[in-house]
Structure 1
Amino acid sequence: MIGVVIPAHNEGERIGAALEAVLRAAAHPALLGETVGVAVVLDSCSDSTSAVVAQYPVIGIALDARNVGIARARGADLFVGGGARWLAFTDADTLVSPDWLVKQLAENADVVCGSIGVEDWGAHGLEGSAVQAHFATHYVDADGHRHIHGANLGVSAEAYCRVGGFQPLACSEDVALVEALQAAGARIAWSAGPRVTTSARTDARARGGFGDTILAMVASLAKPADTELGALLRPAA
């Protein structure tokens, strides 16, 4: 079994499209009918997210933590307990490709760190084209990159359990997990093969996450003398 975990906090407008994309990936014929479970961890949701999730053949897990590390860990624990061999993680504002899971498994690694594409820069108005150009210049979207994104991450259940899973961090929980896996000698694929697109949202949910990085880029481009822009998209060590 493969388990897919999606943390969500007030994502009623986006979660439906995210789930449709994940369910298409779960039905890919190259998976040869292997069971794929999908869990949305509804973290302190007060909008329509839970109602939208209830319309899909997925598991909804409600909690009140406002902590993405706890949310991802709760979903992972569910699937580990159910015997999953592989855990895949994405976000509620992200669309995975139809072969997303197939590409992760094809890496034959303990961990697959995927890159991301951005769906639409229009939300940033006049600065959108400048941010897009800056992102394209500084972001490495190719095999061998060193980016870590919870929106495009896969790990074997065995390796995940070996390092104790996600820490209860409000941000950078994905980085902490991968660093722990590196320290434990896990085989890591830094791959551009599993494709996802995420939003360049202006209403970032996780402080210090990708949304905040985009907003920092916008602010820096408005005042180029104040900040070294390249540091905003520096790959993880």
Structure 2
Amino acid sequence: MQPLADLAPPIAAQPRYSAVVAIPARDEAERIGACLDALADAAAQAGPVAVLLLADRCADATVEIATAARARVPYALVVVRRVLVGSALRNAGDAGGARRAAMDAGAALLAPDGVLMTTDADTRVAPDWIARNRAAIAAGADAAAGRVTYLRADDRALPQAARRRERLERIYARLLAELRARARPDPHDPWPRHDMASGASLALTLDAYRRIGGLPRVPVGEDRALVDALRAAGARVRHCPRIRVTTSGRLDGRASAGAAATRRLRAEGGDPFCGPDLPALDDALACLAGVRMRAQARLCASALPGEIERAGALVRMLRLRSAGACRGDNPVPARSGLR
């Protein structure tokens, strides 16, 4: 068990809510205030909601700042402190374990038909974030994944070469998402959509969370593992581009192999390859065709312009095939826009 020392009334004594936002936090004193204030704006549009903040072995003022925020936010804010010792520290003392503990505690606050959401302590949700997550679930989805962008100030701090690479990756990711959506339409996840699965913006029904046994026990990549587990269980997952959050683009993240570590490596000129969520186009097409491949070579970042051109041509062809349904789509970026 992972002992949680409540700094609010015990969870068992709390009322049950129709929606709960679970947030893991580790030494986030600089950012937690903005996170909670953004959720206040979102809660004002969405009705009764609770926020469960799990302070994971914090050594700074995260807990004090969050506790003080109770006086100004329009939602029920439950703050718990996570304490790990001995084997628990070895087995669950990671970012994935912290999110699982936060989501498990949040689930305990939910009504049987409730919606469990999660975001990050360095993230600011859009004012309609809670409402749009609830709307996606009400429309028939079992889970909803939101679109994540970085704070502009953090983007500007990156070297120009790193910023250009990230821009190319975003273009390629959008093309792959559209290619998949048009080549193999999913009535529960239609175009427009994206392919992100980030812990900064996830929502699911309590039933779906319990059906898969909670958040998968992995040290990193727990967000992608959650979506994969939901799909394997037959859940309907909506990747809604209108569910939006803005997150820190910092280079000193909490997960040893998370997004911050990847950004730092790229800022230093390392990591010439894209992540596994951006396969080479041939590999992506093989997957769409149902061809099993023993191993996929990681896509080299220098190949992105060419892959974008090829993917763009395929997307344009698919758009033409369904022109009546695709009026108003944004044009595929031309080569001149990649320089």
TM-score (norm 1): 0.86
Displacement of 1:27 in angstroms is 1.4
Displacement of 1:126 in angstroms is 5.8
Contact 2:158/2:267 (<8 A) preserved: no
Aligned residue for 2:331? Answer: none
Contact 1:54/1:60 (<8 A) preserved: yes
Contact 1:10/1:47 (<8 A) preserved: yes
Identity percentage of aligned residues: 35
Displacement of 1:90 in angstroms is 0.5
Aligned residue for 2:118? Answer: 89
The CA RMSD over aligned residues, in Å, is: 2.3
C-alpha separation in 2, matches of 1:166 and 1:122: 29
C-alpha separation in 2, matches of 1:9 and 1:170: 15
Letter in 1 for 2:80: I
Aligned residue for 1:182? Answer: 231
Contact 1:145/1:191 (<8 A) preserved: yes
Confirm or deny that 1:55 pairs with 2:68.
yes
Aligned residue for 1:164? Answer: 213
Aligned residue for 2:240? Answer: 191
Q: Which among 249, 257, 275 is matched to residue 200 of structure 1?
A: 249
CA deviations on 1:77-106 (whole Å, 9 max, x unpaired) are: 233223341011100111000000111122
- Of structures 1 and 2, the one scoring higher in RCO (CA 8 A, sep 6+) is 1
Bigger CA radius of gyration: 2
Letter in 2 for 1:23: A
Letter in 1 for 2:169: H
| Alpha-carbon spacing, 1:121–1:189, altered in 2? closer, same or farther (3 Å) | same
C-alpha separation in 1, matches of 2:44 and 2:107: 21
Displacement of 1:178 in angstroms is 1.1
Aligned residue for 1:19? Answer: 36
Q: Which among 122, 138, 145 is matched to residue 194 of structure 2?
A: 145
Letter in 2 for 1:211: A
Displacement of 1:181 in angstroms is 0.5
Displacement of 1:232 in angstroms is 6.8
**Structure 2 regions of 5+ residues with no counterpart?**
1-17, 71-76, 85-92, 178-191, 288-339
Aligned residue for 1:209? Answer: 258
**Structure 1 regions of 5+ residues with no counterpart?**
none
Aligned residue for 2:336? Answer: none
C-alpha separation in 1, matches of 2:158 and 2:267: 10
| Alpha-carbon spacing, 1:182–1:114, altered in 2? closer, same or farther (3 Å) | same
- Paired residues in the alignment total 227
TM-score (norm 2): 0.62
For residue 54 of structure 1, give the secondary structure of its aligned residue in structure 2: helix
**Superposed counterparts of 1:16-165, under 5 Å:** 16-28=33-45, 31=46, 33=47, 35-57=48-70, 58-65=77-84, 66-84=93-111, 85-107=114-136, 108=139, 109-122=141-154, 125=157, 127=159, 129-139=160-170, 140=173, 143-165=192-214
CA deviations on 1:154-194 (whole Å, 9 max, x unpaired) are: 11111011001113332111111111111000001112111
Letter in 2 for 1:63: R
Confirm or deny that 1:227 pairs with 2:259.
no
Structure 1 residues 169-178 or 91-100, which shifts more? 169-178
Displacement of 1:125 in angstroms is 4.0
For residue 19 of structure 1, give the secondary structure of its aligned residue in structure 2: helix
